[in-house]
Structure 1
Amino acid sequence: MVQAVQRAVRILRELASTGPRLGVTELADRLGVAKPTAHALLRTLEAEGLVVQDRDSSKYQLGPDLVRLGNAYLDTQELRTRSLTWADQLANRTNEAVWVAVLTGDRVLVVHHAFRPEGAVQILEVGSSIPWSTCALGKAIAAFLPADERERLLAPEPAVLTGASVTEPEELASQLKEALRAGYAIEDEESAIGGAGIASPVFDRSGEVVGALGIVGPVDRLLAESARQELAVAVRETARNLSRDLGAPRGAAPRTTKT
């Protein structure tokens, strides 16, 4: 690896995760480098529009060109572009908001968000990053990964966002096994109090899981006994259709037997 590039990326990640503003000394300490080195990296990133310096505090924050780069990623992300119509159809069919996500490291990144029809004011969640183990999208992806990748995700201590977040790897492994059998995964207030999700994996032409599609909403509406099975079927069928749109072979789609 090129050390300077690696350090520059670490600066961006530090500003993204612990910002919004950090000084040269703080960033140098976090990177374990001398202040002149951190300052040189920051000036280079600033020249490229990836960070900006606040005039009042002299601290640095993420720059506007990152938005352009992020939008470029979304525009060229095949799963997102292929999912637009299918997500809208699922939102209309279930009357719930729909998220499409990909796995990045140990988190899922929301790449598309179809609003709930006839809902109240809603916040666009594209770009949101969520620990994989706390959401249905992440569990739907993890369940269909190769065994070694799945074990890698299960190895660290699970993230905790609420009192309902699963903290035992054995319980998570059991949930993944059930998702593999059923073709969909469930989130029950694990990332937000009162929130729930139902998601299914999406496959590409190689037959590998490339992301997940699911509905999100209030737990009492999504996981009610009278609605849960019907919603799960709708999510599973839509994910299967999206997978086929991506060229996935029929054998790659999650099974659709009753659960």
Structure 2
Amino acid sequence: MSEQSETFIAHLVELRDRLLRAIVAVVIVFVCLMPWAGSIYDLLAQPMMRTLPEGTHMIATGVVTPFFVPVKVTMMVAFVLALPVVLYQAWAFVAPGLYAHERRLALPLVLGSSVLFLLGMAFCYFFVFGTVFKFIAEFAPKSIVPAPDIEQYLSFVMSMFLAFGITFEVPVAVILLVKAGVVDIAKLKDVRPYVIVGAFIVAAVVTPPDVVSQFMLAVPMCLLYELGIVLARFVSRPSPGKALEPLASSDPDAQ
């Protein structure tokens, strides 16, 4: 067997070991949380329950739904709590193949993107859900009694978590585009009006049809875009003209 084949197999074995360690970490946290699966779902349902009429509860239309929905929520929470271990395993696998300057940039980006995604979920849970559910409760006709299905509620919550989590990744995307040389900071400033319009279009598609929740997604997206421009200054590549200016000014024949 050639040396190249042996190296490839060694990488596959290491990848398998890293994945197994990450999965074991998630499973261990999941097993520890399972006795409180019902309470974890109740915590997730709090924003909705606060807007329902007194004495009203969610419903479960499926036979096994009352069991599987809390299990899904608990698995999601277990993955979030085990995320440091998962990220470490991913970092330990790719770090040996990176140059020193790539490691200096990659680690902050990985950690920053993870923190931003969690911040997006937290912003959605603590600020957006209350506004959205309050709007829905006030808009609903008085002749009906809302009784949301727990499975549909979970689907809605997960889609909103994903939307806001990805939205909060905008600074990371901007930094990567600048670092890769795809765009420069001047171009990012030029397209700012189009980004603002695009943010409101995305918010109108993703969020429920109320103006407040659309603003609560679009405005952070625009602010995070501006934050990305500010942070991108620290990683942007100098233009060739600027790179040659010091050499030209230091040339004695040029004077």
What's the TM-score once normalised by structure 1's chain length? 0.28
Determine which structure has the larger strand proportion and give its number. 1
Q: TM-score, normalised by structure 2?
A: 0.28
* Greater share of residues in helix: 2
| RCO higher in structure (CA 8 A, sep ≥6) | 2
